[in-house]
């Protein structure tokens, strides 16, 4: 029974009554369930890591660290190495980060430093958010039928005039690093823009006021005061955008060419860990699946490190503005 020593003692008028035993039971059940759900997230992540690890274990035992440095992927010869994929993953993501980063930060400045009327600002903000909403496969399709035909003459020109330069060392025959990285850049741009814009908005107005008060022009304020102040937030946006690029799958599987190849050339086909999984997994036999699980684990490790770095920087940036130590 519910313990209520007050009912009889208090005035007759009072309508107060203790929660019923049923209320108490509901409270207990509800809270335990919520606790379990919070716990479930931890268990889920642990289980994912554990499951991938144990599935990959046979391949880890067989190939060891040679898997990470090997350059061939041949299921018939049972020879598996993912160095080209690691290279392709990092290279394409870095190019995407360079392009998407500059554009993203530029847009964050454009959206937060009152360049346009608030209504137009909202229009551009919406455009950027919609850019993030478009599914990856649709970008892939767009890349195949719009971007690649558009890039081909440009790539040809670069190859013919600057072919001695390693970045332009091959022709763009179709899919390749350049279209893949460009689409990747478009896809991470909203992430970078959103987190950077947030960092700019966190800067107290008085900081800007102080700079204007000293006679700085708008861009002097932006470049010398706002940008450095927001730098840690922007860095977090860049790192998280990079993490997103590393794991992006479909658009890359459709655009990068899926060729085991380590090349500096922007126009050469390549492969990434995620698109290796996407293109090989459905038809893989048992041994190859084990190797693919190992590849998934490598991808997991890379994104895990990058994401944690990003979150740590973000945490640091937020603390800086909130004045916590």
Partner 1 sequence: MTSLSDTGEFIAKKYEPKGPVVLDCQINNIYYGNFRAVRDSHVPIEKNKVTGFIGPSGCGKSTVLRSMNRMNDLIESFRFDGSIQYHSNDIYGKKVDPVVVRRYIGMVFQLPNPFSMSIYDNVAFGLRLNGFKGDEEEMVVQALKRAAIWDDVKDKLKNSGLSLSGGQQQRLCIARAIATEPDVLLMDEPCSALDPIATRQVEELMVELKEHYSVALVTHNMQQATRVADVTAFLGVDISQGGRTGYLVEMDDTQKIFEDPQQLLTQQYVRGEFS
Partner 2 sequence: MSEITQQLPPVVEFPSLEKDSFDIRAIKNSTLTLMVWGIAIMASIPLFSVIFMLISEGGSRIDIEALTEIPPAGFETGGGFGNAIIGTFVMVGIASLISIPFGIMAALHLAILDPNSKLTTISRFLAKVLTGFPSILAGVFVYAVIVITTGTYSAWAGGVALAVLMLPTVTLAAEEAMRQVPQRMKDAAYGMGCTRTQVIMQVVLPTGLPGILTGVILAVAGAAGESAPLLFTALFSNYYMAELAEPTASLSILIYNFSGMPFDNQIELAWAASLVLVVLVLFFNILARVVGRSKFKE
217 contributes a contact to partner 1 by CB under 8 A: no
- The least distance separating partner 2 from the CB of residue 166, rounded to whole angstroms, comes to 27
For residue 74, the cross-strand partners are 79
Q: Which candidate, 303, 273, 265, 266, places its Cα nearest to that of 73?
A: 273
Partner touching 74 among partner 1, partner 2, none, CB below 5 to 8 Å by kind? none
Cα three-residue angle 58-285-69, rounded to 5 degrees = 50
Entry field: residues in the chain? 325
- The least distance separating partner 2 from the CB of residue 177, rounded to whole angstroms, comes to 18
30 contributes a contact to partner 1 by CB under 8 A: no
Query: What distance in Å separates the CA atoms of residue 307 and residue 311, rounded to the nearest whole number?
Result: 6
Partner touching 10 among partner 1, partner 2, none, CB below 5 to 8 Å by kind? partner 1
Q: Which of 1, 13, 213, 282 binds partner 1 (CB under 8 A)?
A: 13
- The least distance separating partner 2 from the CB of residue 121, rounded to whole angstroms, comes to 10
Given a contact cutoff of 8 angstroms between Cβ atoms, the answer to whether 173 and 115 are in contact is no
In 10 A of CB 278, how many CB atoms? 16
15 contributes a contact to partner 1 by CB under 8 A: yes
Given a contact cutoff of 8 angstroms between Cβ atoms, the answer to whether 220 and 189 are in contact is no
Q: Which is nearer to partner 2, 213 or 282 (CB)?
A: 282
Q: Which is nearer to partner 2, 159 or 252 (CB)?
A: 252
Partner touching 41 among partner 1, partner 2, none, CB below 5 to 8 Å by kind? partner 2
Given a contact cutoff of 8 angstroms between Cβ atoms, the answer to whether 188 and 244 are in contact is yes
Partner touching 311 among partner 2, partner 1, none, CB below 5 to 8 Å by kind? partner 2
Partner touching 3 among partner 2, partner 1, none, CB below 5 to 8 Å by kind? partner 1
Given a contact cutoff of 8 angstroms between Cβ atoms, the answer to whether 92 and 256 are in contact is yes
Count, residues near partner 1 per rule CB under 8 A: 16
Q: Which is nearer to partner 1, 14 or 76 (CB)?
A: 14
Six-digit token pair at 57? 């274990």
Partner touching 138 among partner 2, partner 1, none, CB below 5 to 8 Å by kind? partner 2
- The least distance separating partner 2 from the CB of residue 162, rounded to whole angstroms, comes to 23
What are the Cα distances from residue 181, in Å, to 70, 241, 288?
A: 24, 13, 28
Query: What distance in Å separates the CA atoms of residue 245 and residue 93, rounded to the nearest whole number?
Result: 5
Partner touching 122 among partner 2, partner 1, none, CB below 5 to 8 Å by kind? none
Given a contact cutoff of 8 angstroms between Cβ atoms, the answer to whether 302 and 321 are in contact is no
Q: Which is nearer to partner 1, 14 or 77 (CB)?
A: 14
- The least distance separating partner 1 from the CB of residue 70, rounded to whole angstroms, comes to 54
Q: What is the DSSP letter of 281?
A: G
Question: Helix 83-112 crosses helix 273-280 at what angle (to 10 degrees)?
Answer: 120
29 contributes a contact to partner 1 by CB under 8 A: no
19 contributes a contact to partner 1 by CB under 8 A: yes
Binding interface with partner 1 (CB under 8 A)? 2-6, 9-11, 13-20
């Amino acid at each position: 029974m519910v313990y209520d020593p007050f009912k009889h003692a208090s005035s007759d008028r009072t309508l107060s009554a203790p929660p019923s035993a049923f209320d108490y039971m509901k409270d207990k059940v509800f809270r335990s369930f919520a606790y379990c759900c919070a716990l479930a997230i931890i268990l889920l992540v642990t289980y994912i890591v554990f499951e991938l690890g144990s599935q990959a274990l046979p391949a880890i035992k067989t190939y060891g660290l040679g898997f990470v440095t090997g350059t061939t992927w041949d299921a018939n010869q049972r020879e598996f190495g993912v160095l080209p994929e690691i290279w392709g993953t990092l290279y394409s993501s870095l190019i995407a980060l360079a392009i998407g980063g500059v554009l993203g930060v530029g847009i964050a400045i454009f959206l937060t430093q009152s360049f346009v009327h608030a209504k137009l600002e909202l229009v551009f903000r919406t455009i950027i958010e919609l850019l993030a909403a478009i599914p990856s496969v649709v970008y892939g399709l767009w890349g195949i039928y719009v971007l690649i035909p558009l890039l081909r003459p440009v790539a040809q020109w670069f190859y013919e005039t600057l072919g001695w330069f390693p970045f332009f060392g091959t022709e763009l025959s179709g899919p390749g690093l350049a279209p893949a990285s460009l689409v990747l850049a478009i896809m991470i741009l909203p992430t970078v823009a959103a987190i950077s814009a947030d960092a700019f908005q966190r800067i107290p107005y008085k900081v800007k006021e102080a700079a204007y008060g000293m006679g700085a022009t708008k861009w002097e304020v932006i470049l010398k005061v706002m940008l450095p102040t927001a730098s840690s937030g922007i860095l977090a946006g860049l790192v998280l955008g990079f993490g997103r690029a590393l794991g992006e799958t479909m658009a890359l599987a459709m655009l990068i060419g899926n060729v085991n190849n380590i090349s500096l050339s922007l126009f050469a086909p390549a492969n990434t860990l995620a698109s290796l999984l996407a293109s090989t997994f459905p038809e893989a036999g048992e041994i190859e699946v084990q190797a693919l699980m190992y590849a998934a684990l490598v991808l997991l490790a890379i994104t895990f490190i990058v994401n944690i770095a990003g979150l740590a920087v973000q945490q640091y940036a937020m603390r800086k503005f909130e004045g916590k130590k």
